[in-house]
Chains A and B, each alone.
Chain A
């Protein structure tokens, strides 16, 4: 699905990602773990077009997508969410979702004056779709709330909802679980698994919560110091010497500490 080859990203003198290579299998929910500063988010940003890589290549289904801007990647079906949830705070949750499928006829200036009927039809189907997504995420009651007013966890759900408004192929989730309570985390995990099974979304998930990773992710990739350290099931990763060293430094080799 996605192949990253020898990717590096340098900020000034600091190499946040340093020759990382990895492959994301189509239809998988791949977990990406690693200590703070391992370069996980930078890797996401480079793949998602926020930063241009210093060197290396990213391909999606054989097509070179290195350095494409985010809105073009979006139209290719590559979506991401943020570590800290983003939303259009002055719009309602429903409007936030309806904002997403950019690029249909309402976009052309010409059509805002002529072809009003077609736009009205589109708006109606978009609205229906947005309501469906809110229903799926069990936040229908928030449809008319301003997105700036809902809780952090609900914003995360809304972000997940954004990916459902279009036919996403691969979705990058940056710490979906951060600052989210257990119950909501379960809702998010269920939504991810269902989207994966029912709609065939491929997910890449950055997460620090190992229970969460263990529950939904296979395989798990561990990064440290800008490189990929190991790949495998969570159990394999947990028993990998190098991984333990990266998390805890040499000398301390208590496997349980990772969890």
Chain B
């Protein structure tokens, strides 16, 4: 029995990856929830817009790498991020102008707008594959580890290693800063407040002199920023593949709905709930239990509840449970 090693293994394989993945999901779910709260539809194009934004960042990163620009130990992609956000924001504003605005003017039912977003999804999907191809792309550079296994063992003398990758640290720090900036914006600025007002009661917001088109524009810009940041962090942490980004749509929606659609705080909580459930259920606990339990009880199997192939089933299951028992989510969002 060795609790310290058990904890290190737990941190290394569950806690740290869970926090990193949770931060990425939280940023993605925030985008979904903001669009739902203000534009009042479920944006199915969110995953593929994220792929598009990340693609732009990757292309810019490659450009910078060719020019010989680097960001020291940090990935070059962070330098490309602001321009990537700007370009994606323009594309999203363009999409709104061409597609969504028409339905808004017609006061179309949300389900019609959802179908339109499905169309946008397919188009984005096609564009991304056309430009960068369907394959895995690696664009991470800079230092790989903050703490690597050998250093850790030398430092602590423990048999279990704790590795801390640069991408993980960047993910957590960037996500934290983004969330802080978002909440500051929503709570402290007038534009943010008018967004909240618009989300709370559209009719009244209009009659209070709030310009709806302005609120919508600002929302798309913020959503673009959150999406591109989330996509880039995910790409740095794992890898970029258009299909994976499309699949992330499910955990995003699960996270947003678990937290309560339309509620930013809920989206963050939901992101972590989904991430930890997914990591917890698909992790083989043999190592942790081997350290934590007396020898006699040491498990023989892998103690993996679900193969990683089925990780999306976790989001699905949580989504079903929430919709059945608490459709407004943990933080009382709008019911779906």
A residues with CB within 8 A of B:
48, 50, 69-71, 74-75, 79-80, 82, 86-91, 95, 99-104, 106-109, 112, 119, 162, 166
Partner of A102 from B185, B194, B196, B200 at Cβ < 8 Å: B194
Q: Does B123 interact with chain A (Cβ within 8 Å)?
A: no
Which residues of A are found within 8 Å of B207, using beta-carbon distances? 48, 70-71, 74, 79-80, 86
Interface contact B201-A86, CB-CB below 8 Å: yes
**Are the CB atoms of B209 and A100 closer together than 8 Å?**
yes
Q: How far is the CA of A80 from the CA of B209 in the complex (A)?
A: 11
A90 contacts across to B, CB distance below 8 A: 196, 200
In the complex, A239→B191 CA distance in Å? 53
Residue B203 is within 8 A (CB to CB) of chain A in the complex:
yes
Q: Is B208 an interface residue (CB 8 A)?
A: yes
Instruction: Please name all residues of chain A whose beta carbon is closer than 8 Å to the beta carbon of B200 when the two chains form the complex.
Output: 88-91
Known A100-B208, A109-B218; 18 more pairs at CB < 8 Å: A48-B207, A70-B207, A71-B207, A74-B209, A79-B207, A82-B203, A88-B197, A88-B201, A88-B205, A91-B200, A99-B193, A99-B194, A99-B208, A106-B189, A106-B190, A112-B191, A119-B190, A162-B208
- Residue numbers in B under 8 Å from A99 (CB-CB): 193-194, 197, 208, 210
**Taking A86-B201, A88-B196, A91-B200 as contacts, is the C-beta distance between A70 and B190 under 8 angstroms?**
no
**Given contacts A107-B191, A112-B191, A119-B190, are A102 and B204 in contact (CB under 8 A)?**
no
Interface on B for A, CB 8 Å cutoff?
185, 189-194, 196-197, 200-201, 203-212, 214, 218
Q: A69 to chain B: which residues have CB within 8 Å?
A: 206, 212
**CB-defined contacts of A103 to chain B, threshold 8 Å:** 209, 211
CB-CB under 8 A from B203, the residues of chain A are 50, 82, 86
| Cα separation A54 to B145 with both chains bound (whole Å) | 67
Chain A residues within an 8 Å CB radius of B206: 69-71, 74
Q: Using Cβ atoms and an 8 Å threshold, which residues of chain A touch B210?
A: 71, 99, 102
Q: Which residues of B contact A80 (CB under 8 A)?
A: 207
Residues of A contacting B204 with CB < 8 Å?
Answer: 82, 86-88
Determine the chain B residues whose CB is within 8 A of the CB of A162 once the complex forms: 208
With both chains docked as a complex, state the minimum distance between the C-beta of A161 and any C-beta of chain B, in angstroms.
12
CB distance from A243 to the nearest CB of B (A): 31
Contacts of B196 in A (CB 8 A): 88, 90-91
Is there an interface contact between A106 and B191, defined as CB atoms closer than 8 Å?
yes
* Bound Cα distance from A106 to B203, whole angstroms: 22
Partner of B197, one of A91, A108, A166: A91
Nearest-neighbour CB distance to chain B for A183, whole angstroms, equals 26
Which residues from A are CB-within-8-Å of B190? 102, 104, 106-107, 112, 119
> Are A109 and B209 in contact (CB-based, < 8 A)?
no
Q: Could you tell me the dominant secondary structure of chain B's interface residues?
A: helix
**Chain B contacts of A106 at CB under 8 A?**
189-191
How far apart sit A12 and B178, CA to CA, in the bound complex (Å)?
48
B331: min CB distance to chain A, Å? 11
- In angstroms, how far is the closest chain A Cβ from the Cβ of B314? 31
Determine the residue in chain B with the shortest Cβ distance to A103. Answer: B209
Q: With A99-B193, A106-B191 known to touch, is A112 a contact of B185 (CB < 8 Å)?
A: yes
How far, in angstroms, from A95 to B187 measured CA to CA in the complex?
11
The complex places the Cα of A82 from the Cα of B201 at a distance, in Å, of 12
| B205: chain A residues within 8 A (beta carbon) | 88
- Would you give 13 A-B contacts (Cβ < 8 Å), ordered by A? A70-B206, A71-B208, A71-B209, A71-B212, A80-B207, A86-B204, A86-B207, A87-B201, A87-B204, A99-B193, A99-B210, A104-B190, A112-B185
Question: Considering the complex of A and B, which 8 residue pairs feature the smallest CB-CB distances, nearest first?
Answer: A106-B190, A74-B209, A102-B209, A86-B204, A112-B189, A70-B206, A88-B200, A102-B210
Among A48, A103, A119, max chain B CB count under 10 A is at: A103
**Chain A residues within 8 Å of B197, by CB:** 88, 91, 99
Inside 8 A of A109's CB, which chain B residues have their CB? 191, 218
Docked-complex contact A71 and B218, CB < 8 angstroms: no
Listed residue (B196, B205, B208) with the most chain A CB atoms within 10 angstroms of its CB: B208
Roughly how many angstroms separate A141 CA and B287 CA in the complex, as a whole number?
60
Q: How far is the CA of A24 from the CA of B6 in the complex (A)?
A: 79
Q: How far is the CB of B80 from chain A (nearest CB, A)?
A: 22
Bound Cα distance A109, B205 (Å): 18
**A107 to B204 alpha-carbon distance, docked (Å):** 17
Chain A residues near B191 (CB-CB < 8 A): 106-109, 112
Q: From B189, B193, B201, give the contact of A89 (CB < 8 A).
A: B201
Q: How far is the CA of A74 from the CA of B193 in the complex (A)?
A: 18
CA of A69 to CA of B205 in the docked complex: distance in angstroms? 12
Which residues of chain A are within 8 angstroms of B218 by Cβ–Cβ distance?
109
User: When chains A and B are docked, how far (Å) is the Cα of A162 from the Cα of B203?
Assistant: 14
Complex alpha-carbon distance, A74 and B206, angstroms:
8
B184 to chain A, nearest CB (A): 9
Q: Bound state CA distance, A90 and B209, in angstroms?
A: 19
Q: B206 — nearest CB in chain A belongs to which residue?
A: A70
